[in-house]
A = this chain, B = another copy of it.
């Protein structure tokens, strides 16, 4: 039997407390940008309300304990993490010139680069304002560490773009920075609101964040586009080298000799995706993601059974998407 570890399922497993907090997170985010000008608020709001999985706020909740005890500190922590995530998405879309995200026009497509850059900056500063309102200085420390990592990861991705010889180690470090540090931050912030050890929950968060990114990179090769919201091989066309290609180029000489810049069309990118798939590289990448999740679950600290189950469900969920 296949478990579907969607956010809804985990929310249900986490009991009424989780859905109460998640509801307050949504409410808080939608009221948050009032007073920042109609235009800005509209775009920032559209970004936030476009939704997404709310996986990071959910992790904040579950890391704080199950059943979740609603508190202003917890809600603010969850909101702050999601706002940093949203800010990153808005800036990433500026850099990529992306026109759609989650089926809606991106801020950069709807309002231009200027508006999108300012919107991202505003979301970013509101994240810290929100945390400072109800959080502790150690929470600010954790979130700013995560935010620095995200910026460094974004940069690393740009620095390594088009370089097909990028090493596995460097790829994993990039995943850690661009994705895993914020999952770590989410778990740390949750732990601060609850009573669990922040350090080990943070490590758990970092591991499942890495697995999340590994799976994202697999989905870029497998699609289907109607689930991922982007054409297969979009990373390849962006010059972003990920694990499937790293493994594939060790197994197929044509892939090893591939010049990414020569790819011009979605069709060509899809052909490369097929070649990567044929090498068995996706299984290697998926096995690694599963191993990371398994190890993450093993290293969970001593927690109440309900909390452990809910966190394990999220961990399984990040590698079971679309499978």
Interface residues in chain A, defined as those with a beta carbon under 8 Å from any beta carbon in chain B: 36-37, 39-40, 91, 94-95, 113-115, 117-122, 124-126, 128-129, 131-133, 135-138, 140-141, 143-145, 147-148, 150-152, 154-156, 158-159
Main secondary structure on A side of the interface with B:
helix
Alpha-carbon distance between A131 and B158 when the two chains are bound, in angstroms: 28
Which residues of the other chain, B, contact A138 by a CB distance below 8 angstroms?
132
Chain B residues whose C-beta falls within 8 Å of the C-beta of A155 in the assembled complex: 36-37, 39-40, 114-115, 118-119, 122
A118→B40 contact, CB < 8 A: no
With A129-B144, A137-B137 in contact, do A36 and B152 touch (Cβ < 8 Å)? yes
Q: List 15 A-B residue pairs with CB atoms under 8 Å apart, sorted by A's residue number.
A: A37-B152, A115-B155, A115-B158, A118-B154, A120-B121, A121-B124, A121-B147, A122-B152, A124-B151, A128-B128, A129-B144, A131-B140, A136-B137, A137-B137, A137-B140
| B94 with A117: CB separation less than 8 A | yes
What is the count of identical protomers in the complex? 2
Residue in A37, A129, A140, A150 with the greatest tally of chain B CB atoms within 10 Å: A140
Chain B residue numbers with a CB within 8 Å of A115 are 155, 158
Contact, CB under 8 Å: B133 / A117: no
CB neighbours (8 Å) of A135 from chain B are: 137
Enumerate the 4 nearest inter-chain pairs by beta-carbon distance, A residue then B residue, closest first.
A125-B147, A129-B144, A122-B151, A121-B151
How far, in whole Å, are A166 and B177 apart by their CA atoms in the complex? 43
- Measured CA separation A150–B124 after assembly (Å): 12
B residues within 8 A CB of A152? 36-37, 40, 118, 122
Q: Which residue of B lies closest to A154 (CB)?
A: B118
Q: In whole angstroms, how far apart are the Cα atoms of A36 and B159 in the complex?
A: 12
- From A127, which residue of chain B is reached at the shortest CB distance? B144
Least CB separation from A158: chain B residue: B114
Whether A132 contacts B121 by the Cβ 8 Å rule is no
- Identify A121's interface contact among B36, B145, B150, CB under 8 A: B150
CA distance A121 to B120 in the complex (A): 9
A123 to B125, CA, bound (A): 12
Cα A112 to Cα B114 with chains together (Å): 15
The residues of B that contact A122 with a CB separation of less than 8 Å are 148, 151-152, 155
Residues of B within 8 A of A137 (CB): 132, 135-137, 140
**A39-B155, A155-B40 are known contacts. Are A95 and B121 too (CB-CB below 8 A)?**
no
Q: Evaluate contact between B148 and A141: CB separation under 8 angstroms.
A: no
Find chain B residues with CB under 8 A from A128 CB: 128, 140, 143-144, 147
**With the chains together, A91 CA to B114 CA distance in Å?**
9
Q: Is B114 within 8 A of A95, CB to CB?
A: yes
Within the assembled complex, what's the spacing in Å between the Cα atoms of A60 and B33? 28
A141 CB contacts on chain B under 8 angstroms: 129, 132-133
Instruction: Give bound CA distance, A122 to B156, whole Å.
Output: 12
Contact of B118 with A132 in the complex, beta carbons under 8 Å: no
User: A95 with B113: in contact, given A36-B148, A118-B155, A137-B140 (CB under 8 Å)?
Assistant: yes
| Residue of A94, A141, A152 contacting most chain B CB atoms (<10 Å) | A152
- In the complex formed, the residue of B with least CB distance to A135 is B137
The answer to whether A125 touches B144, judged by C-beta atoms less than 8 angstroms apart, is yes
